[in-house]
Amino acid sequence: MPAVWDGLSAKLSAAAGFKTAFMSGSCVAASRLGGPDLDLLSFAEMFDSFNMIRGAAPQTLVLADGDHGYGNPMNVQRTVRAYGRAGAAAILIEDKITPRALTAAGKPCLPREEARMKIRAAVEAAKESGILILARTDCRPTQGIDEAVARIEMYAKEGADILFLDSPADDAEIKRAVAAAGGKPSFAVLSPGAPRATPSRTEAAKLGFKIGTYPTGMISPATAGIKAGLAALIAGDAEAKMALPPAELRATLGYPDYDTQAKPFIVKA
């Protein structure tokens, strides 16, 4: 599934035929802050972005990035309940420590039992709405693959619906994590660029992944498009060569749809 961050990205994804989408924290950070995904976003900002997405593409099943749940297990429950009530299909909860160390390298993680309680709290809160829990461990780079696999197994036993090992080093580690999920679906990040094993879609399926997302699949070309537009203006042109024709842009944004929907409410002279 593509990663979305606002109404337009969600609307375009749905129009392209995607039935599911991932609300990516990195994409929301890029769009709202113009910066990196380093735990600077608040629950309120993420939740506001989710409501934009939900409003623009109400039929899309959205996996929301719930980050670390924004606090202790009780904060996790509040986060899960809020997204469940708002219509999210699933929510990601991870085990990293926040605030994180003042570096972009590595993600220190909670002690195992504290992480267990966060996932236990999330699973309990999910019963209210039926939202699915995606449990993610970020401990592979800092604590090793054995601890990461142990956490995947633990989260599955606690009742998490989907499991996610972040930053696997190779296919062997991926296979270990998939096996530790005990038959529950495993989630993969499929966009290239990060220091981790990144299988293709076909390879991911062979490795046992059931769900995957491309966090940079739209945000990267969208950024390239904005840069191209700015370069064209600086060069004295009215628009970049890749710009949509005005009529297509208006149709994409829904101007004709608006006129159709508003017609019954126009007061006749």
Distance CA 224, CA 203 (A): 28
Go through 197-213 and write b for each residue having 16 or more CB atoms within 10 A of its CB, e for each that does not: bebeeeebeebbbebbb
Query: Alpha carbon of 160 to those of 18, 49, 93: distances in Å?
Result: 25, 24, 10
pLDDT at 196: 81
Residue 266 pLDDT class (50, 70, 90 cuts): very high
pLDDT over 90, % of the chain: 92
pTM for this prediction: 0.95
- What the chain holds in terms of domains, given with CATH numbers, is 3-216 (3.20.20.60), 222-265 (no CATH)
- pLDDT of 105 higher than 90: no
For the chain, the straight-line distance linking the first and the last C-alpha, in angstroms and rounded, comes to 48
Residue 183 pLDDT class (50, 70, 90 cuts): very high
Residues 6+ away with beta carbon under 8 Å from 99: 39
Query: Alpha carbon of 162 to those of 127, 188, 262: distances in Å?
Result: 15, 11, 42
Mean pLDDT of 2-20: 98
pLDDT at 224: 98
Give the range among 95-104, 166-175, 198-207 with minimum mean pLDDT.
95-104
CA–chain centroid gap for 55, Å, is 17
Mean pLDDT over all residues of the chain? 96
Q: Which amino acid is at 70?
A: Y
pLDDT over 70, % of the chain: 98
Residue 84 pLDDT class (50, 70, 90 cuts): very high
Give the range among 3-7, 28-32, 197-201, 226-230 with minimum mean pLDDT.
197-201
pLDDT at 195: 79
129 exposure class (CB count in 10 Å sphere: 0-12, 13-18, 19+): middle
